Every structure is written in structure tokens, then in C-alpha cells.
């Protein structure tokens, strides 16, 4: 293994760490804002389930990222450097601004930008990109609908219950829903880094004649995203958990469970969806059950704009990084 491959593997694991750091808010914002757990307890809870997620999911998403976004023939060290630079820098920019943009789509945008500069648009696997872009719109809508359905069902079942009893039940229930969501997060997002490291190693001849994801990559990526979650960014927790809609434990349970259902489906289908989009849609769905004004639509609109510009901005940064790095062989 050359020093360049070691450096790029470390850069990919840094992206995975930043993914956990940046997206930790998705799995813990509701459980913190409802005061079921303290921030420190919440990050440890989420980090554990992020790490063990590989036990519950196949490697469908990793395979999509590794060979289903760009032609694997164009992947080399310089390409990986540019794609990761675009994704990492955009993650840092949006973290600093407190915007819950998608690390997943930042990576895919970075890959598309680097591939286009290197080999033109013919190097893009359109079926994989179209599927991913389609789910940019489907995942938040599905999250919103699932949040609405879960909320409607739970509110109807407990409509005659004493509010304090409902609160007690769902303080426990939210522990379960946060764990399920963290499993979905770890199973979907860590696999994106697995895919890009595996494609790097494959192009360097370190894996074998066929594309595969070794156990060393699986465990290191799950560990990196879990560590990132433990050091997560509280700017985004505040936006997700309090600014979009104020939540009670029952609301948090419905939002997290609805979002987890979507993530489990996407993980099993090999679709690299955005955990950020999904949980935001679910929070908005549950919040709108109280009344439409319960959702802070101005904040939601700002988040949507961050979603829309993520792929082109990460792609542009990656394109610049590729052109500026002829020294990477």
C-alpha cells in the first residue's frame, strides 16, 4: 500500500468522522430537545448503535457508491482526493453555518464533479445518479408522510390517556426509536465511506479481481462514524431539535420511528439516501399535526435551500480540487 493510498484512506475516514459529527444531530436532536437524555448520554447512545449497524444491513449502499455512481474505470488516487475534498469542505462550511445539509449528497456531488472534470459526463453512471437525485425529493416527503402516519396513529391510540402517563411511556419509547434511527444512520451513511475506500483499494489492486468490501474497511468505517457522533456538532442539534418544531417525547418517538422505517428500506434497497432529509421531513410531519404554524417554515425553507445546493457546490469544489492536484498520482 503506497503512502498516497494510506493518506486517501485516512481522508475518507475523516469524511466518515465528519459525517458522524455533522449528522449526529439527526439521531439525537429530538431525544435531547425532549429532555429524555442529556446531550452526553444521547451521543453515547447513538454512537453505540451507529457502530453495530453493520450487523443488521448488507453492503448494498457500499456497492452503489463503489461502482454505481461513476464508472469504476475512472477512479484513481487523484479522483478520490478531489471527491473527498469537495465533500469534506462542504460539510465543514455547512456545519459552521449550522445548516443540516446532506453529507451523503456532498460525497456524491464531489464524485460527480471530479469524474466530469477527469473524463466528461460519459463517466457518470446515470441510473445510479438519477436514483439518488430522485430520493433527494422522495426521502423528505416519505419522512414527512411516515411522521404524519405515526403521529396520527399514536395520538389516536392514546387519545384518552392521561398526558403525564403518555409522556412517561414515550420517554422510554424514544430510547428505542433513537436506537432504531441510529442503526439506520450507521447502516446507510457509514457504507458510503466503505464504498469509496473499497473503490480506491480496488483501483490500486489491493482487493482482488472483483469489487468487494473487506472487513478491515467495514469495521474502520463504523468506528469512524461512531466516534464522529460522539463529538457531534451542537449547532445543528439546536436547529433540528428546536428551531424546526418544538417536540414532546411522543412527537420525538413518532418522528424517529417514521424516519427509521425509511432508512431501513433504503439500506436494504442499496439507495444512498440522506438521513438529514429524512428526519427533517419526519419532524415537520409530526409538528404539522399540532397545527401548521407549529412548524417554523422559514427555517425549513432555509434547510431546503441547503439541500438543493449541496450536490452542485460539493461538485464544484471537487472539480477545482481535481484541477489543482496534478501532483497526486
Quick count: other Cβ atoms within 10 Å of Cβ 324? Answer: 11
Name the phi and psi angles at 197, rounded to 5: -70, -40
- Written as tens digits, the pLDDT of the chain (329 aa) is 788 999 999 989 988 887 787 666 666 766 777 677 777 787 788 888 888 887 887 788 888 888 889 998 889 999 999 999 998 898 788 878 777 677 778 889 999 999 999 999 999 998 888 888 888 778 888 988 998 899 899 989 988 888 888 888 888 888 898 889 888 888 888 888 899 999 999 988 888 788 888 999 999 998 998 888 777 655 555 554 445 456 678 888 888 899 999 999 988 888 888 887 788 788 888 877 766 555 556 666 666 777 788 889 999 999 999 999 998 87
Read off the pTM: 0.81
Quick count: other Cβ atoms within 10 Å of Cβ 168? Answer: 12
Q: Where are the alpha helices (DSSP H) in 120-162?
A: 126-157
Quick count: other Cβ atoms within 10 Å of Cβ 317? Answer: 24
List Cβ<8 Å contacts ≥24 apart for 93-98: 94/22, 94/306, 94/310, 95/18, 95/21, 95/22, 95/233, 95/235, 95/236, 96/235, 98/235, 98/236, 98/238, 98/239
Amino acid at each position: 500500500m503506497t503512502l498516497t493510498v494510506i493518506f486517501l484512506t485516512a481522508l475518507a475516514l475523516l469524511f466518515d468522522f465528519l459525517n458522524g459529527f455533522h449528522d449526529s444531530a439527526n439521531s439525537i436532536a429530538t431525544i435531547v430537545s425532549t429532555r429524555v437524555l442529556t446531550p452526553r448520554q444521547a451521543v453515547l447512545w447513538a454512537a453505540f448503535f451507529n457502530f453495530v449497524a453493520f450487523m443488521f444491513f448488507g453492503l448494498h449502499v457500499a456497492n452503489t457508491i463503489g461502482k454505481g455512481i461513476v464508472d469504476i474505470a475512472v477512479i484513481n488516487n487523484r479522483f478520490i482526493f478531489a471527491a473527498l475534498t469537495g465533500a469534506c469542505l462542504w460539510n465543514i462550511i455547512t456545519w459552521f453555518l449550522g445548516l443540516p445539509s446532506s453529507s451523503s449528497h456532498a460525497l456524491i456531488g464531489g464524485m460527480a464533479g471530479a469524474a466530469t472534470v477527469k473524463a466528461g459526463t460519459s463517466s457518470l453512471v446515470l441510473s445510479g445518479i438519477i436514483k439518488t437525485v430522485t430520493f433527494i425529493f422522495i426521502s423528505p416527503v416519505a419522512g414527512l408522510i411516515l411522521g404524519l402516519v405515526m403521529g396520527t396513529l399514536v395520538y389516536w391510540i392514546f387519545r384518552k390517556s392521561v398526558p403525564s402517563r403518555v409522556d412517561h411511556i414515550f420517554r422510554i419509547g424514544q430510547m428505542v426509536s433513537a436506537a432504531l434511527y441510529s442503526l439506520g444512520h450507521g447502516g446507510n451513511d457509514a457504507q458510503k465511506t466503505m464504498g469509496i475506500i473499497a473503490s480506491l483499494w480496488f483501483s490500486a489492486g489491493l482487493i482482488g479481481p472483483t469489487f468487494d468490501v473487506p472487513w478491515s474497511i467495514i469495521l474502520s468505517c463504523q468506528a469512524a462514524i461512531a466516534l464522529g457522533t460522539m463529538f457531534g456538532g451542537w449547532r445543528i442539534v439546536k436547529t433540528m431539535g428546536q428551531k424546526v418544531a418544538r417536540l414532546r417525547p411522543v412527537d420525538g418517538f413518532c418522528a424517529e420511528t417514521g424516519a427509521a422505517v425509511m432508512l431501513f428500506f433504503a439500506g436494504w434497497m442499496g439507495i444512498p439516501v440522506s438521513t438529514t432529509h429524512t428526519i427533517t421531513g419526519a419532524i415537520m410531519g409530526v409538528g404539522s399535526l399540532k397545527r401548521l404554524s407549529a412548524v417554523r417554515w422559514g427555517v425549513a425553507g432555509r434547510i431546503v435551500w441547503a439541500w438543493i445546493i449541496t450536490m452542485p457546490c460539493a461538485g464544484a469544489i471537487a472539480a477545482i480540487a481535481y484541477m489543482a492536484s496534478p501532483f497526486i498520482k
